[in-house]
Amino acid sequence: MELITYPFVETFAGIQGEGTFMGMGATFIRLAGCNLRCAWCDTTHSFDVDRARRLTVNELLQECSLTQPLVVITGGEPTLYNLQPLVTAIHKLDKRVAIETNGTNPIPAEWDIDWVTASPKPGSNYAINCRPNELKYVVDDRLSVTDIAADRVPPGHVYLQIESCRPESARKAYKMVVEYPELKLRVGIQLHKILGVE
């Protein structure tokens, strides 16, 4: 049987900079390739699948030092690949697995991912085709409150993330939280960018 390989971009130990687990020590695994092209994407270096090294689960785990309690699989769009073998291997090392997805693809329950962060994007008309634990919307000029699917996650699990630290985005996120209290939104930041780390 042919072993599954993943297009590998980078790994680093740091802190989860976004969402519910913000500030927690995390090992990041970034895979290449994305089915969208967002105007303000901050990981365009993950787009080129052809240039990425293809690693088996074992090779990937050798590459990463899984020192942190949480492992965040991100991209790009990591759901383009069957993540089940990778998640199973990480669980055997007694680590929890979170994923960062744009929400366009279903995530099979068999993958057994512990925490799904979906960040619906304008390029997919804010599609959510998985079952997220939390939602993260980048507040750009286009985002409207009608795009926000607060009913898809438990109350208080929708983050309005400020786009590229822009003051207009921060003001818009603030206003949305205050004007729509019934949606139980939260302003979200990217702590790693404020701290100047990866």
Q: Cα separations (Å) of 113 from 130, 142, 176, 191?
A: 12, 31, 31, 23
CB of 170 to ligand 2KA, least distance (A): 18
Q: Please enumerate, by residue number, every residue annotated as part of a binding site.
A: 15-17, 30, 34, 38, 40-43, 74, 76, 119-121
Burial (CB < 10 A; 0-12, 13-18, 19+), residue 107, is buried
Cα dihedral 159, 65, 111, 116 in deg (nearest 10)? 0
Stretch that binds ligand 2KA, among 11-19, 57-65, 108-116, 166-174 (CB under 6 A): 11-19
> Are 7 and 60 a contacting pair, CB within 8 Å?
no
The pattern of x and - marking residues 56 through 75 that bind ligand 2KA according to CB under 6 A reads ------------------x-
Stretch that binds ligand 2KA, among 12-20, 55-63, 149-157, 179-187 (CB under 6 A): 12-20
Closer residue to ligand 2KA, CB minimum distance, 42 or 112: 42
Single residue of 100, 134, 140, 163 touching ligand 2KA by CB under 6 A = 100
DSSP state of 20: T
The two structure tokens encoding residue 99: 């994923």
Question: Which stretches of the chain bind ligand 2KA, using CB under 6 A?
Answer: 14-18, 43, 74, 100, 192, 198
